[in-house]
Amino acid sequence: MLALASRYLSRIQAARIMNRRQAIIGGAGCLTAAGIAAARIRVPATPSQRSDKLTGQTVNLRDYCAADGQHVDTYDYQALLNRQPSTIIYPDNAILTLDRSVRLASNQAHIFGSNVRIEANAKDYALLATGLTGQNLGKLVQPITRYAQTIRLDAVPDVGPGDIIVLTDLRDPAAIRTDINIVHSIQGSSIFTRYPIGRAFVTDQFRIYHVYDPAQNITFRGDLTAINNHPSGGIMRFVYASNVEIEGITISDCGYIGMSFENSIGGKFDKIKIHSSGASGLGFRTSKLIKVNDFIAQGIRSDEALTFYDNVSHAYASKLDIRQYTFKERNKGETAGNNILIDMECSNINIEKVKCVGSSTYNVMIHNNCDNCSINEFDLRRSNLGGIRISKNSNGNNIGQGLISDVLDMKDAEANKNVSGISIGKSCSGTVISKSINFERIAAGNRIIRWQDVPAR
């Protein structure tokens, strides 16, 4: 078992972590300062805007697109979205064929009949929704501590209560750090936020932007199966979005991430099924106010099935059924690791009623300064390195009742430590572990271990 873990950790882990950090950002790669200021995320060329708007109207897709699986519908579909009907009805057995990405419109509901399909061959995400941000609102005159709710600027900002703002640290152009929030109130040149700010900001190279035109009030509901045959293509991506509701969608195959929700606030994801995505199944990055319910994932070829990464907070996930594979069970080229990952300054993420089977690392990992998260009512089976790991200064987390079984390895070669059902880093304080946890077939015989965290590389 030691040799198995060593091969995995030395050859795959570094690449997998890098892939995850880039993948959740999506096809645009690393955001630049100009990109954040203008939200210049790559979007497809679109047809010219027609004058006959459909605002407030409910329309049938087949009145505007062939949607027969024989014709490419990209141009007609984008033209329909641009005309801004309030609701698009997709009739039974409609097949929408896309040869490139399309941009979704705000204030639009997509209602699917039975057996509707979207079949794409798009290099990026098949469906994109991105809002727009304005110019910098002012200079930061006092550093912001993590979980503070006050931003002190050098001028009265041109925003008001209810507006969405993005705080940005530009000191490292290769790893821009952000926080999305909502303005609670303004007093003089100070902004008071509705939610705690998820990370610290210093005054140097700080920018704060108003999301003046979010991609908002977008609904997908019904019996839709979506695929993207392109090897680097995903299904849905939301950036600078607000109030997104996705229900009943099946992602049956794609070369890249199934669904990504980034720098956004307010998302509900219900009855989502993801089969055979090339990278993370459902990924959240730098976002708040998220609810996931009744999520099924299997056959994730790289990274995690469910990812909360880089300052995600106030999220709740329930009724999760995730099936991946251990190291020996993987197919050639597959590098999936944890079933669920919470990583890099996330907080207040609560997971319950979860079943995970098969992981070449951990079923659930809470890592890198992630605080006040919880997992309860869990059934975690067949992992190489353990059921749950909490590491790298992650504090105040709670492990409730459940089952951890079939931990296969004896050693974690990277840390040179014995494997256990639950491992807690010595840098992590305030972890509460329920006495109502059953452990079965732990190869090393260890239920809970506290160990020194792996040094940063």
| pLDDT one-digit tens code per residue, 383-402 | 999 999 999 999 999 999 99
Q: Which pair of structure tokens corresponds to residue 79?
A: 């033209």
How crowded is residue 452: how many other Cβ atoms within 10 Å of its Cβ?
A: 12
3-class SS of residue 302:
strand
DSSP-assigned states of every residue in 224-289? EEEEE-STT-EEEEEESEEEEEEEEEEEEEBSS-SEEEES-EEEEEEEEEEESBSS-SEEEES-EE
Q: Residue 321 pLDDT more than 90?
A: yes
The residues that bridge with 367 in the sheet, in sequence order, are: 343
Q: What is the pLDDT of residues 52-80, one digit of tens each?
A: 899 999 999 999 999 999 999 999 999 99
Region(s) of the chain under CATH 2.40.30: 135-210
The secondary element (H helix, E strand) that includes residue 407 is strand 402-407
Task: Say which residues have a Cβ less than 8 Å from residue 64's Cβ, sequence separation at least 6.
Answer: 76, 77, 79, 80
Q: Which two tokens stand for residue 182?
A: 């909502």
Tens digits of residue pLDDT in 170-215: 999 999 999 999 999 999 999 999 999 999 999 999 999 999 999 9
Using a pLDDT cut of 90, give the percent of the chain over it: 83
Delimiting residues of CATH 2.160.20.10 domain(s) in the chain:
2-31+43-129+214-451
Residue 79 has φ and ψ, to the nearest 5°, of -60, -40
Give percent above pLDDT 70 in the chain.
Answer: 88
Tokens found for residue 94:
């409609």
How far apart (Å, rounded) are the C-alpha atoms in residues 250 and 181?
30
Phi, psi of 192 (to 5 degrees): -110, 125
How does residue 229 score in pLDDT terms, banded at 50, 70 and 90?
very high
Q: Would you say residue 51 has pLDDT above 60?
A: no
Tokens at residue 280, please? 């993370």
What sign has the CA pseudo-torsion 114, 115, 121, 123?
positive
Comparing C-alpha atoms, which of 183, 180, 343, 161 is closest to residue 265? 180
The CATH architecture assigned to 135-210 reads Beta Barrel (2.40)
pTM: 0.90
* Rounded Cα–Cα distance for residues 244 and 10 (Å): 39
Nearest to 257 by CA among 353, 122, 164: 122
Q: Does 2.160.20.10 match the CATH number of domain 2-31+43-129+214-451?
A: yes
Q: Is 90 exceeded by the pLDDT of residue 158? A: yes
Give the span between the Cα atoms of 364 and 156, in whole angstroms: 44
Give residue 422's pLDDT: 97
Q: What is the mean pLDDT of residues 116-122?
A: 98
